């Protein structure tokens, strides 16, 4: 299945949408991150491989927020791997219809249910993946962090440029650095 955000033919169009979105949603960039107010964190890491390499990120997130509730949201297929990561309090699984690689989605009705259930529930949302559902996350979090250049990344409060020369583990840690958080340990577990 060919995804629009990975198709080089649409790269210019996506950049234009993000540039225009940055102009319209400029106020989101002015919001300051306040570490002391963070009590509930949602980390979105959809697929199995993403969850496995997220362990270093989650460890450092826990060290920076020892008393916060950290929830990892992933697809159902990645739940078993997520259960092996000791730095999270809870795992939620959801298979949004977009980004589904195997036709394993929970249908489109899950979207309004998800928004209503989670409206402004999280102090910080960190999206480690492709951000295909940024429009959903903006309703759920007070501060949203993710990577620049993904679909609808203009909806983020803080976006981090992807450095393709770094390993994915180090790229995830760059998200923490963007919030001026300390990196304690870079090793995977």
Residue with tokens 């249908």: 107
| CB proximity list for 61: less than 8 A, separation 6 or greater | 41, 43, 70, 87, 126, 176, 181
Number of alpha helices (DSSP H) and beta strands (DSSP E) in the chain: 8, 6
Confirm if 153 and 186 have CB atoms less than 8 A apart: no
Judged against a pLDDT cut of 50, whether residue 12 lies above it is answered with: yes
Q: What is the pLDDT of residues 24-45, one digit of tens each?
A: 666 566 678 889 999 999 998 8
How high is the pLDDT of residue 162?
87
Mean pLDDT (the chain, rounded): 81
Average pLDDT rounded to a whole number, residues 151-170: 85
**pLDDT band of 62, cuts 50, 70, 90:** very high
Residue 30: C-alpha distances to residues 25, 33, 115, 121, 154 (Å): 10, 9, 24, 21, 13
């Amino acid at each position: 299945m060919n995804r629009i955000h990975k198709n080089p033919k649409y790269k210019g169009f996506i950049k234009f949408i993000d540039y225009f979105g940055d102009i319209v949603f400029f106020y989101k960039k002015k919001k300051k991150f306040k570490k002391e107010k963070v009590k509930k964190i949602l980390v979105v890491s959809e697929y199995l491989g993403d969850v496995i390499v997220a362990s270093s990120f989650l460890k450092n997130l826990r060290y920076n927020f020892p008393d916060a509730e950290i929830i990892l949201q992933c697809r159902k297929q990645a739940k078993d791997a997520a259960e092996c990561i000791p730095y999270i309090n809870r795992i939620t699984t959801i298979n949004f219809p977009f980004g589904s690689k195997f036709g394993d989605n929970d249908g489109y009705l899950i979207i309004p249910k998800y928004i209503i259930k989670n409206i402004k529930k999280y102090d910080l949302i960190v999206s480690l993946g492709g951000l295909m559902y940024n429009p959903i996350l903006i309703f759920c979090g007070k501060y949203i962090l993710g990577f620049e250049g993904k679909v609808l990344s203009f909806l983020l409060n803080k976006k981090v440029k992807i450095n393709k020369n770094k390993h994915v583990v180090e790229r995830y840690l760059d998200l923490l650095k963007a919030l001026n958080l300390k990196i304690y340990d870079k090793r995977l577990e």
